[in-house]
Each structure stands twice: as C-alpha cells, then as structure tokens.
Amino acid sequence: MKIVVLIACLAGFSMVGRSQELNCQVNIVTDASLEVTSVELEIIEQLKGVIYEFMNNTQWTKDKFTVEERINCNLQIQISEIPQPGTYSGAVQVQSSRPAFNSSYNTTVFNFQDEDLVFGFSRNAVLAYAPNQYRDNITSILAFYAYYIIAMDYDSFSNKGGTKYFNEAQQIVTNAQSSGAPGWKSNERGKNNRYWLVDNALHQLFSPLRECSYEYHRKGLDVIYDDKVAGRKAVFTALNKLLKVVSTRPNSLNVTNFIRAKTIELVNLYEDADAKEKNQVVNLLKRLDPTNSSKYQEILE
C-alpha cells in the first residue's frame, strides 16, 4: 500500500483542505462549429469550477495526503453538442501522472479518451457523491474516474495496491447500469468504455498487467536516475508480463492504453541503449500492440 503521512500544514489550512487525494486540473472547451449562447458560456464556466471543487475537495479515501502527495491529474472536457439547454454531450480526456523517485520527472500512469460523455447541468447545481447511490451522470462519471485514478496510482506503488478503489469504481458502474446513460454497459462501443475499463482491471486474466504496472514504476522508473541500466532491465522484464494477457486478450483496452501512455517515455528511455537492447524492446512492443508498430519503430532511430 502506498504510504501516505499527514503532516502539519501552514496555519489557516483546514483538515479538509490538506487531506484530499487529487490535484485535478479541469478544462472545458466547445467545438468551434457549436453555437453557444452567452448564457450557456456562463453555465459552462460555472460547471468548470464545480467540477474542479468536486474532484479536489471530495475526500475519496480514508488515507491522509500532504499537499505534495496529491495525485496530479487532468480532465479535458470537449463539448460537441448541446441538444437542449442544460444538456451536454461530447468526450473527456482523463490523464494522471506520478513522479519518478529522486527526480523531477513525472510519468503518465493513466490516459484515456472517454467518448461517452452525456450529462445534464443547470446553473447553481451542486455535485455531491454518495457511495452506493446513482444521483446523476456527471457525478457518477467524475467519481468513477477519481477512484480509477487513485487505484492506478496505488497500483504503481504497491503490487495490486489499488484493488479497493477499483472495486469502488466498479460499484459506480453497477449503480449506473439502469440510468440509460452511455458508457456503463458491456455491450457499448466495442468494449472501449468505463464498464470494460474497470472490469478488465479486476479480472484475473489482467493480473499480469497490474503486476507490470507495479514493477515498471517501482522497480524500473523509480531507480532509473540512480541506475539507468538496472531500471531499463526492470522495465523490460515488467513489459514481458503483458504477453500473458495479449495471448488470451489481444488488443485489449487496458493493455493498449497502458503501452500507448508510455510510448514517448520508452523512446526517451532507450535512446542511449545499445542496438541489441533497442531491438528487444521494439520487438516486444510490436507484439503487445501490433497496430501501432510504426510508433515503436522510433526507438530504433
């Protein structure tokens, strides 16, 4: 389990203000072709603030985080349609990162484009999450990603350390099943939705992926700045674990999502490796994610 310690903060900070888990940045944009009234623009700007407060000021776990320990994450919301006043649809890009030990480098842990964003929001509305209860779609979507981000972060520090929070995310999926909103069911968008994202994470077949995440980060990236050779070796060993998943679930959402989040990082990591090491990792990545083979070829250049 990731160890978090509550320490004294500057005077004037409340307990709530210094114990939350997320440091979430929020941005909302509308399609250039979308005609948005001045009233809607005001509501969207208010929505941005409400989401920011919800993500950053809700206490998602019982653990205590210092300001420096909060999980850095971003929500990029793209509104493509406003079917009627107060109703919005589009997509949300969800990204989280965590620092590599003994360095200023931050590695992407989770990066996902959710195309099933449909929700209602009215002026002065308040978002409040209640466990085991579906209130509205935007609250459920945000709470789902809050727990998923936390689970992924904990998994990167401890082997399967995020299980509790994956379970919380899965419960949100279950609660939302009867809402009729998209993204919560198994038969939607070819398994590229919230249902499969968390169902896969908790499935035994994907256990090697969670082991990979832990070893990649703790045994690989966290030692890179002290011993780059040992770190790269650990990264390669961790990625090899994914072959077990690919053999039974080729092109699975969770594996490809993990690999693609690391592509640029791997290019940089292996830029000064010898030819043999580069070829080994490129051949492995092409087996794990064959549809993006050309991207991994950059490692050889």
Going by C-alpha positions, the residue among 202, 152, 253, 227 that lies closest to residue 235 is 227
Digit-coded pLDDT (tens) for 111-151: 999 999 999 999 999 999 999 899 999 999 999 999 999 99
Is a pLDDT exceeding 60 seen at residue 5?
Answer: no
Contact 114, 141 (CB under 8 A): yes
277 within 8 A of 299, measured Cβ to Cβ: no
Alpha helices (H) along 115-241: 137-157, 163-176, 194-202, 207-214, 222-224, 228-240
Q: Tell me: the pLDDT tens digits for 248-295?
A: 999 999 999 999 999 999 999 999 999 999 999 999 999 999 988 998
pLDDT higher for 47 or 9?
A: 47
Which residue in 139, 151, 152 sits closest to 51, CA to CA?
Answer: 139
Distance CA 284, CA 221 (A): 18
The pLDDT of residue 19 is 58
d(CA 90, CA 77): 8
pLDDT above 70 as % of the chain = 94
Query: Global pTM?
Result: 0.92
Evaluate if residue 2 carries a pLDDT over 60.
no
Other C-beta atoms closer than 10 Å to the C-beta of 6 total 13
pLDDT for 242 = 98
Would you say 183 and 116 are in contact if contact means Cβ atoms under 8 Å apart? yes
Q: How is residue 186 annotated by DSSP?
A: T
51-110 pLDDT tens trace? 999 999 999 999 999 999 999 999 999 999 999 999 999 999 999 999 999 999 999 999
Please answer whether residues 48 and 27 qualify as being in contact, where contact means their C-beta atoms are separated by less than 8 angstroms. yes
Q: Do 285 and 239 form a contact (C-beta atoms < 8 A)?
A: yes
9 or 57: which leads in pLDDT: 57
22-30/71-84 β-pairing: parallel
CA 72 to chain centre: 10
Closest by alpha carbon to 163, among 211, 96, 99?
A: 211
Summarised one tens digit per residue, pLDDT across range 177-223 is 999 999 999 988 778 999 999 999 999 999 999 999 999 999 999 99
pLDDT of amino acid 14:
36
- Mean pLDDT, the chain, rounded, equals 92
Could you say which DSSP state residue 81 is in? E
User: Which structure tokens are listed for 59?
Assistant: 């206490």
Q: How confident is the model at residue 4 (pLDDT cuts 50, 70, 90)?
A: very low
Query: Which pLDDT value is given to residue 188?
Result: 83
pLDDT digits (tens, 9 = 90+) for 140-160: 999 999 999 999 999 999 999
